[in-house]
Amino acid sequence: MAARPSARIAREIRRRITSGELRPGDRLPSTRQITREWGVAIATATRVLATLRQEGLVRAVPGIGTVVTAPGAGAPVRLRAVESHKPVAPDRDPSTEVIVATAIGIADSEGLAAVSMRRVASALRIPTMSLYRHVRAKEQLVLLMIDAAFGEEPLPDPPPLGWRAQLETAAHIQWGLYKKHPWLAPVISIMRPQVLPNGIRHTEWALRAVDGLGLDVNTGLHVAVALVSLVRGAATNMEAEAEARMETGLNSDEWLRLQEPEMAKAFATGPYPHLECVISHPEADMDLDSLFEFGLARFLDGVEAMINRGG
């Protein structure tokens, strides 16, 4: 009996790995590339990568794709995306800024879990102990990374006219930073906020925007923090979505299309006329950007209504 297409393709890619044709850190073909090279469906290509992951031969890396793992182990693979950062010569002591920038580069390409003092030192080609002259531990390094990320796009000076435009500006800047750094949103704390200069500027900006509009101090604080929470809440989905996209090679629309048979089974279990209508409607379209924009607009509408009625 002929082997299933997914098993046959997995065997060929496995051969490339074991023969050394594909080395640790090398990227595998994406699902789209597999479909083109072997003439199979997206679902078959997805099964191929899933099989190789289950065997421990490959792993998904956010922002990179599916890569070959190091033989026998779970240690992070040294990826070309990180190696592309210009290393510091071994006889030089890097600045704190260089250390933080290198850590951000690793987090952007591999996820925050891949960031460690040893990993950053390896990327900079310096002894690990050299980092401790600048950063006490990973916890402090992460705080510096957060602050540096928020400092990449300063709030405009002078600010736009009107409280609503000012809150929209801050929210869009934050959203852009979260999109650029998918690891950032999950490490932001709302109830135990990190004391970071660039983060504090965003809070001060929001408080100033609603000052003098008839809101009491506590309400103004809730507006400022709720705005941060709204943007961060929507952005926490980015890291998982990036990982899923790299793992499967499918965007959310492609993934949903693959779920249509399961959806049909679920709809057969009971009457879901409203959900079926929405899913089948040609104008129904949703992604993380549209969810963010919808939530932001409705939040600001609510703040406006509160201001109009005098708090």
Walk along the chain (311 residues) and give the pLDDT tens digit of each residue: 456 788 889 899 998 888 888 888 888 887 777 877 888 877 787 788 888 887 888 887 655 678 888 654 333 333 333 333 344 444 467 888 999 999 998 888 878 888 889 889 888 888 888 888 898 889 999 999 999 999 988 899 899 999 999 999 999 999 999 999 989 999 988 888 788 888 889 999 999 999 989 889 999 999 999 999 999 999 988 777 776 666 666 776 677 677 777 777 777 777 877 777 777 666 766 678 888 899 999 999 999 998 988 76
| E strand or H helix at 275 | helix 273-280
Q: Which residue from 78, 105, 93 is spatially nearest to 23, judged by alpha carbons? A: 78
Tell me if 74 is assigned to some domain: no
* Same domain assignment for residues 252 and 300: yes
Look up the domain containing 145 and give its range. 80-150
CATH number for the domain harbouring residue 25:
1.10.10.10
Tell me if 75 is assigned to some domain: no
* Same domain assignment for residues 64 and 184: no
Amino acid 282: pLDDT:
64
Tell me if 156 is assigned to some domain: no
* Same domain assignment for residues 60 and 93: no
The Cα–Cα gap between 199 and 188 comes to 10
Boundary (domain end) residue, out of 150, 184, 211: 150
Q: Which two tokens stand for residue 12?
A: 């060929």
The string of DSSP letters for 203-251 reads HHHHHHHHTTSS--HHHHHHHHHHHHHHHHHHHHHHHHHHHHHHHHS--
* Same domain assignment for residues 247 and 219: yes
* Same domain assignment for residues 259 and 127: no
Boundary (domain end) residue, out of 21, 38, 68: 68
Tell me if 155 is assigned to some domain: no
Amino acid 265: pLDDT:
74
Amino acid 101: pLDDT:
92
Rg (C-alpha) for the chain, rounded Å, is 24
SS3 195: coil
Q: Which two tokens stand for residue 88?
A: 């510091």
Please, what's the b/e burial string for 250-289 (b: 16 or more CB within 10 A of its CB; e: otherwise)?
Answer: beeeebeeeeeeeeeeeeeeeeeeeeeeeeeeeeeeeebe
SS3 56: coil
Tell me if 258 is assigned to some domain: yes
Amino acid 207: pLDDT:
94
Amino acid 74: pLDDT:
39
CATH number for the domain harbouring residue 179:
1.10.357.10
Tell me if 243 is assigned to some domain: yes
* Same domain assignment for residues 64 and 84: no
**Helices (DSSP H) in 26-137: which residue ranges?**
31-38, 42-54, 80-83, 96-110, 117-124, 128-131
